[in-house]
Each structure stands twice: as structure tokens, then as C-alpha cells.
Chain A
Amino acid sequence: MLKNGRQAPNFTLNATPDQQLSLSEFIGKKVILVFYPADWSAVCGSELAIINTSVALLEKYNAVVLGISVDSKWSHKAFSEKQQLRFPLLSDFEPKGAVSQLYDVYNQQQGYSKRAIYIIDENGVIQWSYLPPDEINPGVDGVLEALDKLATES
């Protein structure tokens, strides 16, 4: 995992079949960067469903959520509609896993992103990260606690 206090590497990925997003567009907001192994698998569905439920609460912290996996933009589109997601899913598809590697959360053997979360502050600096085991579905309590802590420190 990249260290806290470090500038988060910028990237540009497809958020929909015809629209790209760059991390740098979110300067001025906190970004919760959620890497996950795959669309459609049960644990992931449930992790993203919980994060989806927290979007309104995260907005109060001036935070937005970006999901990232190696699935194609078409898979993301269908999955996002099915799950009624209220945040974008970015496609780390070509070259495969490049952004996940940049953030040191790529599982080379399996060919997908590890489950991992980064919190990036308004200036694009990494403030918190978490790498649970693949089979564990983290809730968002850790993220909320970290955001509370950041709020009291600043």
C-alpha cells in the first residue's frame, strides 16, 4: 500500500462507456478510493451495496466514492444499474490493472485488484488506507472513523 502523506498518483479511467474521469478532477473534495476484485461476485456486491448506502453520509464529510476494478466499462455499466449504485465505477481494464499496480493493490497471480480502500484528502494527499483479506467484506465503519479523525485534526 502507498504510504500516508504521499501525493496520490493521478489516473484517468473510463467511468461509463463514453466518459472518462481523472482523480485530479476531485481536488477540493475527499475521495474514498475503493478497489475491489470483481463485479458480480457476492462479497463485492455486498461491499459495494453497503458503501452505496453510505454515500449520503459521506457527502457530509465532503467525500465522494470511486470504485475501481479490472472489469470492462460494459460490465460496470450493467452491474451499476443492477445495484443502483450512486457512485462511479472506474474500469482499470487497459492496460489491465495499471492503476491498481500504481496503488500497490494488484493481485498479479489472480489478475484482479485486491480489496483495498484509500482516503485521499482535498489536496490529493493519501491520509488513510486499509487492506482487508480478500474474503472479508469490510463495512464502512473504518472509513467513517478515519474521516472523523481527519475532521478533528484539521
Chain B
Amino acid sequence: MSLKPPVSDHDHIQGHSQAHISLVEYGDYQCGYCGQFYYIVKKLQQHFGDKIRFVFRHFPLEAHPNALHAALAAEAMTKYNKFWPMHDILYEHQQSLDDFSLIEYANMLGISEQQFRNDYNDPALMEKIQQDIESGLRSGVNGTPSIYINGKKYEQDYSYEYLVKYIEKLL
């Protein structure tokens, strides 16, 4: 199963555009496995440096009541160039993702409550999230997190050690 559509400028990308390895995650901020995988991604980035780029696409599940709002909060930070700092805060505070906490996290990044509320209600944010979800559905996402390495769905062990071995073979 392949990634549809491929990574583009519309994506949130961390790392070099010319990196050998492209790791795409479909994730949900309230999903416990995604929370564990967040730390694995950090370690992989440290280990592989410029050789890897990381892309995050939203896949909030309805079974998680705060997941969609958390995704909107992260998206709302994009225009301040603070998507990734918010992404990190959300995964590091998975136990507190209620609306009140989301405002607090925006404040931590220097965005006032008033400003955050204005941005947060922009319908373009929801549209972006819906596009991510649709691309995930078409790419064969069957749970969160689902990851794609160099455009192909990765269906093996999600542990750090296993991923390091798998990626090293691709370099």
C-alpha cells in the first residue's frame, strides 16, 4: 500500500527535503500508541540526523473525544511557524488535552487566548485535517499510528530497534 498523495509542500515536514528516508506518520494526539511512538520518532531523528525527514498527518479518531480539537490547536499554530512546538507539547501532555489546556499551551507559545480563539475557528484548519484523514483512508491507514517509509506502508514491528535496522537497510 502506498502513500496517497505523496509528501508535498502542504505537509508538515521536519528535516531535509533531500533526505534519503521519508517517514510519514498518521497520528492522533490522544492515542496512547502514538504517544509512545512520538518518543521513538525523536530517537530516530537523533540517530539518523539529516538522513531522515519526518512528516506528520492528522488522523484523529472519534473514539478519542479531545483528538480533533488537539489537531486543530496544532494546525492553528502553523501560521506562526509553531506547528512542531505545539505538536511536541501535545504529545508530552497527552493526559491534558481538554480545551482549557489547549489555550494554555497556545499561551506557552506566545499566542494569546483571544488570538488563539480567532485562529482556531478558521474553517481552513478543519479542511486541512479532513484532507489528511482522507489521504490516510486512501493510503490504507488501519490504526494509529500508521507509518509510511519512503512512500510504502510499514507493516512490521514499530519498536525503535527494529525500525533502526529496517531503515539502515534502505540507506
Contact = CB atoms under 8 A, between A and B. Distances in A.
Interface string A43-58: 0011101101110110
Interface residues of B, number: 17
Interface in B47-104: 59, 61-63, 65
Contacts, number: 53
Contacts of A54: 137
Interface residues of A, number: 22
Nearest to B139: A141
A139 B137 contact: yes
B35 to A, nearest CB: 16
Given A50-B141, A139-B137, A82 B63 contact: yes
B113 to A, nearest CB: 28
Contacts of A84: 62-63, 65
A52 B138 contact: no
Nearest to A86: B62
A82 B143 CA distance: 17
Interface in B140-155: 140-143, 146
Nearest to B62: A84
A82 to B, nearest CB: 7
A57 B134 CA distance: 7
Interface of A is mostly: helix
A84 B30 CA distance: 15
B25 to A, nearest CB: 15
Contacts of A53: 59, 61-62, 133, 137
Contacts of B63: 45, 49, 52, 82-84
A85 B63 CA distance: 8
A135 to B, nearest CB: 12
A50 B139 CA distance: 12
Interface string A126-154: 00000000000111111010000000000
Nearest to A138: B142
Contacts of B134: 57
A54 B141 CA distance: 11
A49 B139 contact: no
A141 B61 contact: no
Nearest to A140: B137
Most buried by B among A45, A138, A140: A140
B137 A49 contact: no
5 closest Cβ pairs, A-B complex: A139-B142, A141-B140, A139-B140, A84-B62, A46-B143
Given A141-B1, A141-B138, A142-B140, 15 more contacts: A50-B142, A53-B59, A53-B61, A53-B62, A53-B133, A53-B137, A57-B133, A57-B134, A82-B63, A84-B63, A86-B62, A138-B142, A139-B139, A139-B142, A139-B146
